[in-house]
Amino acid sequence: MDKIGKVVKVQEIIKTEPKPEESLYSKYIRERQGATCIELECGFISYRVESKDNKKLMHIVDIFVDKDFRSGTKHTAVPLLRSIIKKAKKYKCDAITSTIYVNTVNATDSLKANLYYGFKVVSANNNIIFLMREIDAPFREE
């Protein structure tokens, strides 16, 4: 059971072996950006593992939560972020990174959520904010 109060089907897409239930978006993001997608009924998160400056990083490519599930007791970002932290530990990543494009819809809300869940701003350039979260940073539930 999740925070929504019903069982949420999670499908993890493996880059090398597509599953029959893989969504079109998952196929697209895997082919176009080399990312893996974890989908819930109410949202998804896509990620890829990268190396930069002798560090292994889990980079969040996209995260989307349906607007009906973005706050309160229905908040779906928590299991999505927990799954990314778990994956990053499994892949022995040093940190998790994220980017926010300031000219997109809900950029301010995205920045607030990233900061709330332990990400820190590391730089900004050309309307893009770069964030990083240490793997073992404390995690807020709500």
Place of tokens 């999670």: 10
pLDDT in tens, the chain (142 residues): 333 333 334 333 333 344 457 788 889 888 999 999 988 878 889 999 998 888 999 999 999 888 888 776 556 677 888 889 999 999 999 999 999 999 999 899 889 888 988 999 999 999 999 999 998 887 776 5
pTM for this structure?
Answer: 0.77
- 43 forms bridges with which residues in the sheet? 40, 65
Domain 11-134: assigned CATH number: 3.40.630.30
What residue ranges do the domains of the chain occupy? 11-134
